[in-house]
Structure 1
Amino acid sequence: MKVLILAGGLGTRLSEETTLKPKPMVEIGGGKPILWHIMKIYSHYGFNDFIILTGYKGHVIKEYFLNYYARYSDITIDMSNNDVHMHKMRIEPWKVTMLYTGQDTMTGSRIYHAKDFVNNETFMLTYGDGLCDVDINKLLDFHKKHKKAITMTSILPNGRFGVLDINNTTNQINSFVEKPKGDANINDSGYINGGFFVCEPKVFDYIYQAQQKKLSIQEDPLSVVFEEDPLRDLAKDGELYAYKHHGFWKCMDTLKDKNDLQYLWQHNCAPWKKWQ
């Protein structure tokens, strides 16, 4: 099963780090970018086929993976005969596809770029700036049981994000409101969008419909925000379900967020680190 990772945004609230690199490449522990940590989470559960949806400074991500072996291996370079020998190669069981989706493309339109690579199969999707200790296998099992288009990992943070109205009996999401003013929540549920989605190919139809709506009012179809019309319409049609996660989750929005994650890693108490 493929894992799509949104990695193309500007990261303006972390400008101290993102002037020279995209936010998913900001290092948070062990000299590794947050993108690497996200991929290790999925890999721990056996999901190793990644599609990275790049945009802003996407070449930095491409160069990182092109030079991955040399970066993390011990090497001897014999300049007298142009020989390079690698020792103790540190490898991952990953297949990584990098799709350049445009500098200013919005999240929904970025996701649509991967349609032909998904091959009409169930896929996973998450953001390139959020870490979580969610059990991916349990998330997938929950998704298979309700048999709808999309499952969103839903968490209880301090606010600032899209609020969900969840049916407490079935966990169906009745409505989705992205970043409501005043951080108000609906029905006092408090649950918000934490990423770590499981999606059926039907999700691409909703993005396509949103793109057509943009064209009908002479707007750029690449400006479709996944968290607006597509998720709202999926919720309205009963196709969006919440997997309630009560463990660790943190989005790296600011320098403080980055430092908090780095602190957890440095003190050997990073909840997302399940791998050995």
Structure 2
Amino acid sequence: MKAVILAGGFGTRLSEETVSRPKPMIEIGGKPILWHIMNIYGVYGINEFIIAAGYKAEVIKEYFLDFYAINNDITVDLNTGNTTIHNNGNQPKWKIHIVDTGLYTQTGGRLKRLKGWLEKEETFLFTYGDGVADIDINTLLKFHKAHNKLVTVTGVHTPERFGRIAFEGDQITSFHEKPEHAEGWINGGYCVLNSKVFDYIENDETIWERSPMERLASEGQLFGYRHSGFWSCMDTLKEKNFLEELWNSGKAPWKVW
């Protein structure tokens, strides 16, 4: 199974950090938050990733192009220019597809641009490149298979500036993007999607969290997996510093690997 990670936005709320790199490449504990997210999936045997890049896509490409050399010992023969990389055996067995989905493409448009990278009728994982959680991916997948609908969204609790989802049992009956005043469950990413969702996305301007998810909810195709454990995004410098403090304390809840 593949995991799709959105990593193409401008990250304007973190402009202090995103002048020279995309938000998913901002480091927590010396590693990009993208690396942390991939490790959350990796511990459950998810080893193939599709990164939907956009803003400063070259930074993501350079990181993974150099990953093998930087994370192993190397020998450089300055006389011949030959380089030998000594595999220490501790590298993740990941296959990573980095796809440039456009500079100004919206979230739904980025997802639809990946259609050719995913098989027809395929189920895949999908999340945002700025959120970490101590989520059990196996339990999430079992939940998705049990209801046999097109989409599962992981619901989490957090402050009111995020979009709200309303439940009836496990079915999501409505989805509202960022109301001014509300409390309850929100979309925390870590979704499971069937490739039929591409039919709900019109073009590059489509915002996934609006008309596609609202339509899926109205048709009874959107279910929510309630995650009551740790979850945090990294939208602001305050949130970035919070995650850094947790990591440095040695008690980062999302470190499940």
Q: TM-score range by the shorter chain?
A: over 0.9
Tell me the amino acid that sits aligned with residue 206 of structure 1: Y
Q: Equivalent residue for 2:126? A: 125
Query: CA separation in 2, counterparts of 1:77 and 1:33?
Result: 27
Structure 2 segments unaligned to the other structure (5+ residues): none
Q: Equivalent residue for 2:8? A: 8
SS at match of 1:99: strand
SS at match of 1:151: strand
Q: Equivalent residue for 2:256? A: 274
SS at match of 2:158: coil
Query: CA separation in 1, counterparts of 2:175 and 2:159?
Result: 17
Matched, 1:115 2:110: no
Query: CA separation in 2, counterparts of 1:4 and 1:264?
Result: 26
Could you tell me which of 229, 238, 241 is aligned with 1:256? Answer: 238
Cα displacement string for residues 147-176 of structure 1 (whole angstroms, at most 9, x for unaligned residues): 000000000112211101101xx3100000
Shift of 1:92: 1.1
Larger helix share, 1 or 2: 1
Could you tell me which of 188, 205, 209 is aligned with 1:223? Answer: 205
Query: CA separation in 1, counterparts of 2:81 and 2:125?
Result: 43
Matched, 1:106 2:88: no
Percent of aligned positions with the same letter in both sequences?
A: 53
Shift of 1:76: 2.2
Structure 1 segments unaligned to the other structure (5+ residues): 212-220
SS at match of 1:195: coil
SS at match of 1:181: coil
Tell me the amino acid that sits aligned with residue 223 of structure 1: E
Shift of 1:88: 4.4
Matched, 1:82 2:81: yes
In the alignment of these two chains, the number of paired residues is 255
Q: Equivalent residue for 2:222? A: 240
Query: CA separation in 2, counterparts of 1:194 and 1:159?
Result: 13
Tell me the amino acid that sits aligned with residue 86 of structure 2: H
SS at match of 2:21: coil
Matched, 1:143 2:125: no
Matched, 1:199 2:193: yes
Tell me the amino acid that sits aligned with residue 104 of structure 1: Y
Query: CA separation in 2, counterparts of 1:153 and 1:256?
Result: 23
Query: CA separation in 1, counterparts of 2:218 and 2:186?
Result: 17
Shift of 1:85: 2.2
Tell me the amino acid that sits aligned with residue 60 of structure 1: V
- TM-score (norm. length: structure 2): 0.97
Q: Equivalent residue for 1:216? A: none
Query: CA separation in 1, counterparts of 2:84 and 2:99?
Result: 31
Shift of 1:80: 1.1
Shift >4 Å, 4+ stretches: none
For residues 51-70 of structure 1, the aligned pairs below 5 Å read 51-70=50-69
